[in-house]
């Protein structure tokens, strides 16, 4: 049962092979039993889950269920959940019970899903390994000595370890795609503005986007159907009709134009990873796709530009965590300044502090033009590169990450090396494009992710291209060895 | 040495929207602390701002009313600083691309000339909450009801050369925003307040002197006092061989002095950058035209109309159009008096204003309605009562004793115009005051006033003064 996809479980629920309460209880038991090995959840919500499952069963019985009604999901702890602790992986919000639901959570409630709990993550989504969490590192179910990736590492590990059939993630520079790649999942970061950011604790507002983390492209399509759409509470949310993302899954690959950016294949990629990617491209070629070399000449600038824009925005976004109204407050503050300094000093972790400092510096008077404005110009150049590429091709493909999962502790003392693990994913956020990572093979028994980048609001095509690959290969069905 | 004063004002006017600039919470004044602060106003994790279209329309309206450019594209920026009444740790404002630029407004100087004051820019921003230091022993309370109230900050050019000019400018803007119905103008509640940038320089010097900024002055009287005080302070320092430091100062109305808040070195670096949560405001020509079409009659237009339509002189027209509420009251009075504009203007500027001032009442709460006042003026015009008796009627109306007609009837104040009756009274007075009659006839004309007084006394002031004059003159001739 735990190997089943969302789509298969939905069938079982509709056909009353199993009830949502039974399914939910089974997952809750399994989490209880096994999550000690992975640390993928920060909060488990058994009472709420069973209550939602009961309501879902009633809805199914009454015949007004939707496809996701009764499906248990794990929600990244970045989404505000009414009445449930919402920590964002930080000591700062360890005591924060959100008084409202994020729009994404609200939409899932309406669809009738069940929330198993809130998943672990890098603190305030800042990290690529899930080691910056206040709640401890998450372990990759494929090898518990390695990281699951980040920042949505808890969601990735939970789905990979079969502690949830699917989960939500958020992606600011690769935080859905990179952990999906490292844990053998299908992860989709939609076009910026496709999914509401309301109630999703902001890291870098102009880059953040929520999306599904699933076993299959079909499941990703089903989840995206529920998540996407205009929200008047988010000014940056696109007021654009939401298509049925499952509708085009079965389109043929014949004639599909796939662009391979030459810059992505030049250097830095692990040889084993490169081999898997080449084999995956061959699968497409055999299915009738046309492979075209493209160039993204400014891609080498994406990491530096990102590490100006994202910290700049986060330095401002995280100012509200001041110990005054909610969250952590230091003991016995002497005065206002002491309250600010110690509350923030004691509750933020090193990586968060590092980025607040970088961002504060980049926005400072005298440096603003040299850093922030320059980075925004680079962002324009990067978008322009993609625009030109998409005049020639339908999708762009390449590796999601330069290597497979690295060891816990291996890069945690070397921020720049850590930042470079997102080298292939970051440009997509800077341009606001949709991107996916799908399982594309194993290198030394560890998963390799193929990244598929689409044009704006072309999620249907991405899902189609991913789904077709999954009908031709079985990488996505592989589970970690020894998984019970 | 002779000094020239240079003043620029930054006026903050709260926009009269029902809800806040980035949330749906109410902006009504005076509610219990924190009852009008929603998740967005509290800056809870995950919340996002959504701009209030009404606030944008009001900003555009202001721009058009001061002949400025309304930007087709303006951008909200974040102004980052930590303070407990700023819940997000930043204020959403507009630094780089404000909604309004390059406007101007005319002020009237004491010598009767007009002067044009440039308006550099006006931008939309959110107000902060309030820190309550008094109510909590050893602690500070935070009230976020005001947080997120829309403001328009109106920045003038450094065009003013005296405290009086600064006050005239501030009054003009105060009047304008009320005409436009974009601000209630209530200074006691902080709906309209200003910061003043002040410097002095020798009269023949071109460069500006070093300026000091005086924060948060919330009455016309204080503006004048604070500026004059600051001018004196700066001149004293320079004349004593000192230097002005660029700094922010606070005006203490109780002590009538300004004191330093922070120097330039300690100024915050606000780290402005475009707010990524908000899209730029884009206004097209059609939209701007629509706003233009809904602009009400502006003060200077109304003044011209009052001169043309009601035959007022320029000074009366100025006074009666300075505030929209006064001009509305005046026009309603003229209407109720069947077109007695001159009398209405005199009564408005005389009895009405002085009674309001004496009782410290706003015209909107005047106990006498324009209909009542107009009704009384009608009775002066048709000679039912004299101007003098009208003062008694006015007082009675002020005390809610009814309409002019009711009061005239009840108190028997109707003017006596019966010539026979007046003659009879006068005959009696002449007979009883032979001495004074002789004095008058011998050329002591001042005695005439005595006879008028006696006649009025005998008729309880109701005799028609003109008739009394005529009859007395004829009879005293002998």
Cβ <8 Å between A372 and B273? yes
The answer to whether residue A312 is domain-embedded is: yes
So what's the pLDDT on residue B362?
87
Domain end, chosen from B383, B411, B439, is at B411
Running DSSP on this structure, what letter comes out for residue A372? I
What are phi and psi for residue A21, nearest 5 degrees? -65, -45
Give mean pLDDT, residues B157-162. Answer: 97
Among B56, B22, B50, residue whose Cα is nearest residue B37: B22
Interface of A with B in 54-73 (CB under 8 A): none
Q: What is the pLDDT of residues A336-382, one digit of tens each?
A: 999 999 999 999 999 999 999 999 999 999 999 999 999 999 999 99
Among A458, A422, A464, residue whose Cα is nearest residue A180: A422
Dihedral (CA of A114, A119, A124, A128) sign: negative
Q: What is the pLDDT of residues A269-301, one digit of tens each?
A: 889 999 999 999 999 999 999 999 999 999 999
Domain end, chosen from B268, B290, B312, is at B290
Q: What is the pLDDT of residues B355-369, one digit of tens each?
A: 999 998 889 899 999
Report yes or no: B47 at the A interface, CB cutoff 8 Å. Answer: yes
My answer on whether B10 and B102 are in the same domain is yes
Cβ <8 Å between A313 and B89? no
Average pLDDT, chain A: 97
Query: Would you place residue A20 in the very low, low, confident or very high pLDDT band (cuts 50, 70, 90)?
Result: very high
B-chain residues within 8 Å CB-CB of A206?
Answer: 276
Top residue of A308, A316, A357 to mutate, by most chain B CBs within 10 Å, is A316
Residue B437 above 90 pLDDT? no
Residue A484 above 70 pLDDT? no
Phi-psi region of A70 (alpha: psi -120 to 50; beta: other; left: phi over 0): left
Distance CA A331, CA A327 (A): 13
CA of B140: which chain A residue's CA is closest? A336
My answer on whether B245 and B345 are in the same domain is no
Report yes or no: A319 at the B interface, CB cutoff 8 Å. Answer: yes
Q: Quick one: what percent of chain A has pLDDT higher than 90? A: 95
- Please, what is the angle between helix A6-14 and helix A46-62, to 10°? 50
A-chain residues within 8 Å CB-CB of B273?
Answer: 312, 316, 363, 368, 372
Catalytic residue positions of A? 76, 151, 175
Cβ <8 Å between B89 and A319? yes
Residue A446 above 70 pLDDT? yes
Query: Would you place residue B478 in the very low, low, confident or very high pLDDT band (cuts 50, 70, 90)?
Result: low
Give mean pLDDT, residues A212-230. Answer: 98
Report yes or no: A308 at the B interface, CB cutoff 8 Å. Answer: no
My answer on whether B245 and B375 are in the same domain is no
Do the Cβ atoms of A154 and A40 come closer than 8 Å? Answer: yes
Comparing A112-116, A173-177, A197-201, B390-394, the range with the smallest average pLDDT is B390-394
| A325: number of Cβ within 10 Å | 17
As a dihedral over the C-alpha atoms of residue B371, residue B373, residue B379, residue B380, rounded to 10 degrees, the angle is -150
Comparing A150-164, A214-228, A444-458, B211-225, the range with the smallest average pLDDT is B211-225
The helix/strand/coil state of A399 is strand
Cβ <8 Å between B46 and A365? no
Q: What is the pLDDT of residues A129-163, one digit of tens each?
A: 999 999 999 999 999 999 999 999 999 999 999 99
Length of chain B, in residues: 478
Top residue of B34, B43, B45 to mutate, by most chain A CBs within 10 Å, is B45
Give mean pLDDT, residues A215-219. Answer: 98
Report yes or no: A251 at the B interface, CB cutoff 8 Å. Answer: no
So what's the pLDDT on residue A339?
96
HSE of B325 in the Cβ direction (CA atoms, 13 Å)? 15
Phi-psi region of B226 (alpha: psi -120 to 50; beta: other; left: phi over 0): alpha
Report yes or no: B49 at the A interface, CB cutoff 8 Å. Answer: yes
Distance CA A57, CA A63 (A): 10
| B267: number of Cβ within 10 Å | 12
Query: Would you place residue A462 in the very low, low, confident or very high pLDDT band (cuts 50, 70, 90)?
Result: very high
My answer on whether B214 and B240 are in the same domain is yes
The answer to whether residue A314 is domain-embedded is: yes
My answer on whether B249 and B361 are in the same domain is no
So what's the pLDDT on residue B108?
87
Distance from CA of A200 to the nearest CA of B (A): 5
My answer on whether B319 and B252 are in the same domain is no
A-chain residues within 8 Å CB-CB of B24?
Answer: none
Give mean pLDDT, residues B259-275. Answer: 85
Cβ <8 Å between A363 and B142? no
| A148: number of Cβ within 10 Å | 35
A89 to A126, A221, A369, B287: CA distances (angstroms): 10, 27, 33, 46
Distance CA A440, CA A447 (A): 7
So what's the pLDDT on residue B265?
66
So what's the pLDDT on residue A415?
85
Domain end, chosen from B371, B388, B411, is at B411
Give mean pLDDT, residues A93-102. Answer: 98
Ranges of H-type helices in B162-313:
163-179, 220-239, 285-293, 299-310
Cβ <8 Å between B276 and A326? no
Q: What is the pLDDT of residues A387-443, one digit of tens each?
A: 999 999 999 999 999 999 999 999 888 888 888 888 999 999 999 999 999 999 999
So what's the pLDDT on residue B473?
87
Rounded to the nearest 5 degrees, what angle is found at the Cα of B446, between the Cα atoms of B441 and B452? Answer: 90
Distance from CA of A316 to the nearest CA of B (A): 7
The answer to whether residue A228 is domain-embedded is: no
Distance CA B292, CA B289 (A): 5
Expressed as residue numbers, the domain containing B368 is: 297-411
Running DSSP on this structure, what letter comes out for residue B189? T
SS3 of B209-247: CCCEEEEEECCHHHHHHHHHHHHHHHHHHHHCCCCCCCE
CA of B91: which chain A residue's CA is closest? A316
My answer on whether B259 and B302 are in the same domain is no
Distance from CA of B33 to the nearest CA of A (A): 14
Query: Would you place residue A254 in the very low, low, confident or very high pLDDT band (cuts 50, 70, 90)?
Result: very high
My answer on whether B407 and B431 are in the same domain is no
Distance CA B83, CA A337 (A): 9
Cβ <8 Å between A96 and B43? no
Q: What is the pLDDT of residues B60-71, one digit of tens each?
A: 999 999 999 999
The helix/strand/coil state of A84 is strand
Report yes or no: A104 at the B interface, CB cutoff 8 Å. Answer: no
Residue B476 above 70 pLDDT? yes
Q: Nearest Cβ partner of A320 from B89, B140, B272?
A: B89
My answer on whether B285 and B321 are in the same domain is no
Residue B267 above 80 pLDDT? no
Q: How many domains are contained in chain A?
A: 1
Distance CA A448, CA B351 (A): 89
Rg (CA), chain A: 21
Dump the DSSP string for B140-155.
-EEE-SSTT-EEEEEE
Residue A112 above 70 pLDDT? yes
B-chain residues within 8 Å CB-CB of A202?
Answer: 45-46, 277
Chain centroid to CA A31 = 21
Q: Is the ipTM of this complex over 0.90?
A: yes
My answer on whether B161 and B309 are in the same domain is no
Q: Of A120-134, A258-272, B124-138, where does the model show the most confidence?
A: A120-134
Q: How many domains are contained in chain B?
A: 3
Running DSSP on this structure, what letter comes out for residue A140? B
My answer on whether B381 and B458 are in the same domain is no
Expressed as residue numbers, the domain containing A350 is: 300-377
So what's the pLDDT on residue B3?
94
Rounded to the nearest 5 degrees, what angle is found at the Cα of A137, between the Cα atoms of A133 and A143? Answer: 150
Report yes or no: B269 at the A interface, CB cutoff 8 Å. Answer: yes
My answer on whether B382 and B257 are in the same domain is no
Q: Nearest Cβ partner of B46 from A102, A313, A336?
A: A102
So what's the pLDDT on residue B416?
79
Report yes or no: B424 at the A interface, CB cutoff 8 Å. Answer: no
CA of A340: which chain B residue's CA is closest? B82
The answer to whether residue A329 is domain-embedded is: yes
What are phi and psi for residue B92, nearest 5 degrees? -85, 120
Rounded to the nearest 5 degrees, what angle is found at the Cα of A395, between the Cα atoms of A391 and A398? Answer: 120
Cβ <8 Å between A316 and B45? no
Report yes or no: A430 at the B interface, CB cutoff 8 Å. Answer: no
Q: Nearest Cβ partner of B276 from A96, A206, A363?
A: A206
Do the Cβ atoms of A439 and A467 come closer than 8 Å? Answer: no
């Amino acid at each position: 049962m735990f190997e089943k996809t969302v789509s298969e479980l939905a069938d079982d629920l509709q056909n009353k092979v199993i009830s949502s309460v039974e399914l939910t209880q089974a997952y809750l038991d399994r989490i209880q039993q096994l999550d000690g090995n992975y640390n993928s959840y920060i909060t488990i919500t058994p009472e709420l889950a069973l209550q939602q499952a009961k309501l879902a069963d009633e809805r199914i019985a009454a015949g007004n269920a939707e496809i996701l009604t009764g499906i248990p999901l794990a929600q990244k702890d970045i989404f505000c959940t009414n009445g449930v602790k919402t920590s964002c992986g930080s000591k700062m919000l360890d005591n924060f019970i959100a008084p409202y639901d994020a729009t994404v959570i609200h939409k899932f409630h309406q669809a009738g899903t069940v929330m198993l709990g809130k998943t672990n993550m890098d603190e305030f989504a800042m990290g690529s390994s899930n080691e910056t969490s206040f709640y401890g590192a998450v372990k990759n179910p494929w090898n518990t000595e390695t990281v699951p990736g980040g920042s949505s590492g808890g969601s990735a590990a939970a789905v990979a370890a079969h502690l949830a059939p699917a989960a939500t993630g958020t992606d600011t520079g690769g935080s859905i795609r990179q952990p999906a790649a490292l844990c053998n999942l299908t992860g989709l970061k939609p076009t910026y503005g496709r999914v509401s950011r309301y109630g999703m604790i902001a890291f870098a507002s102009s880059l953040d986007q929520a999306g599904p983390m699933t076993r299959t492209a079909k499941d990703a399509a089903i989840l995206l159907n529920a998540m996407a759409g205009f929200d008047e509470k988010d000014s940056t949310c696109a007021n654009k009709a939401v298509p049925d993302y499952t509708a085009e899954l079965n389109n043929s690959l014949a004639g599909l134009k796939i662009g391979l950016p030459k810059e992505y294949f030049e250097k830095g990629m692990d040889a084993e990873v490169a081999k898997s990617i080449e084999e995956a491209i061959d699968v497409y070629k055999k299915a009738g796709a046309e492979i075209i070399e493209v160039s993204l000449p400014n891609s080498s600038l994406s990491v530096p530009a990102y590490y100006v824009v994202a910290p700049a925005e986060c330095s401002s976004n995280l100012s509200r965590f001041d110990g005054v109204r909610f969250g952590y407050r230091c003991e016995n503050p002497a005065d206002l300044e002491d309250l600010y300094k110690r509350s923030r000093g004691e509750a933020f972790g090193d990586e968060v502090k590092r980025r607040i400092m970088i961002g504060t510096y980049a926005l400072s008077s005298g440096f603003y033009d040299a850093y922030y404005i320059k980075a925004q110009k680079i962002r324009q150049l990067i978008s322009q590169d993609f625009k030109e590429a998409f005049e020639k091709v339908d999708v762009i493909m390449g590796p999601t990450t330069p290597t497979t999962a690295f060891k816990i502790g291996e890069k945690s003392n070397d921020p720049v090396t850590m930042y470079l693990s997102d080298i292939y994913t970051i440009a997509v956020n800077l341009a606001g494009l949709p991107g996916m990572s799908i399982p594309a093979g194993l290198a030394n028994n560890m998963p390799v992710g193929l990244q598929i980048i689409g044009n704006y609001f072309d999620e249907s095509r991405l899902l189609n291209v991913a789904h077709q690959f999954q009908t031709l290969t079985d990488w996505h069905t592989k589970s970690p060895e020894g998984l019970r | 040495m002779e000094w020239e004063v240079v003043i620029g004002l930054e006026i903050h006017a709260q926009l009269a929207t029902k809800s806040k600039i980035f949330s749906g919470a109410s902006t009504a004044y005076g509610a219990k602390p924190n009852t009008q602060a929603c998740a967005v106003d509290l800056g809870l994790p995950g919340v996002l701002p959504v701009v209030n279209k009404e606030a944008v329309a009001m900003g555009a309206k202001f721009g058009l009313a001061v002949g400025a450019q309304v930007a087709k594209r303006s951008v909200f920026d974040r102004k980052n600083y930590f303070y407990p009444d700023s819940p997000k740790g930043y204020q959403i404002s507009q630094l780089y691309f404000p909604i309004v630029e390059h406007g101007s407004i005319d002020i009237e100087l004491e010598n009767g000339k007009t002067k044009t004051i440039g308006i550099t820019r006006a931008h939309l921003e959110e107000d902060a909450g309030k820190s309550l230091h008094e109510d909590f022993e050893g602690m500070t309370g935070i009230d976020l009801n005001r947080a997120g109230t829309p403001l328009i900050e109106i920045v003038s050019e450094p065009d003013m050369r005296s405290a009086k000019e600064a006050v005239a400018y501030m009054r003009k803007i105060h009047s304008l925003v009320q005409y436009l119905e974009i601000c209630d103008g209530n200074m006691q509640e902080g709906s309209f307040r200003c910061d003043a940038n002040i410097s002095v320089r020798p009269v023949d010097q071109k460069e500006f002197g070093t300026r000091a900024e005086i924060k948060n002055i919330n009455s016309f009287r204080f503006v004048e006092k604070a500026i004059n005080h600051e001018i004196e302070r700066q001149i004293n320092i320079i004349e004593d061989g000192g230097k002005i430091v660029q700094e922010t100062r606070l005006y203490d109305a109780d002590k009538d002095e300004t004191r330093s808040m922070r120097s330039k070195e300690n100024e915050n670096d606000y780290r402005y950058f475009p707010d990524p949560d908000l899209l730029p405001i884009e206004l097209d020509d059609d939209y701007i035209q629509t706003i233009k079409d809904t602009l009400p009659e502006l003060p200077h237009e109304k003044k011209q109309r009052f001169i043309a339509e009601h035959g007022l002189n320029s000074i009366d027209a100025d006074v009666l159009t300075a505030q929209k509420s006064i001009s509305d009251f005046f026009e309603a009075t003229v209407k109720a008096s069947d077109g007695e504009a001159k009398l209405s203007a005199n009564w408005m500027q005389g009895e009405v204003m002085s009674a309001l001032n004496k009782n410290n009442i706003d015209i909107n709460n005047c106990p006498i309605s324009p209909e009542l006042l107009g009704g009384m003026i009608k009775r002066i015009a048709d000679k039912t009562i004299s101007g003098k008796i009208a003062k008694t009627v006015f007082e009675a109306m002020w005390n809610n004793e009814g309409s002019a007609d009711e009061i005239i009837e009840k108190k028997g104040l109707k003017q006596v115009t019966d010539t026979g009756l007046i003659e009879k009274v006068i005959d009696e007075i002449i007979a009883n005051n032979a001495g004074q009659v002789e004095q008058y006839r011998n050329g002591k004309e001042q005695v005439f006033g005595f006879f008028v007084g006696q006649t009025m006394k005998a008729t309880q002031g109701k005799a028609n003064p003109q008739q009394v004059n005529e009859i007395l003159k004829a009879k005293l001739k002998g």
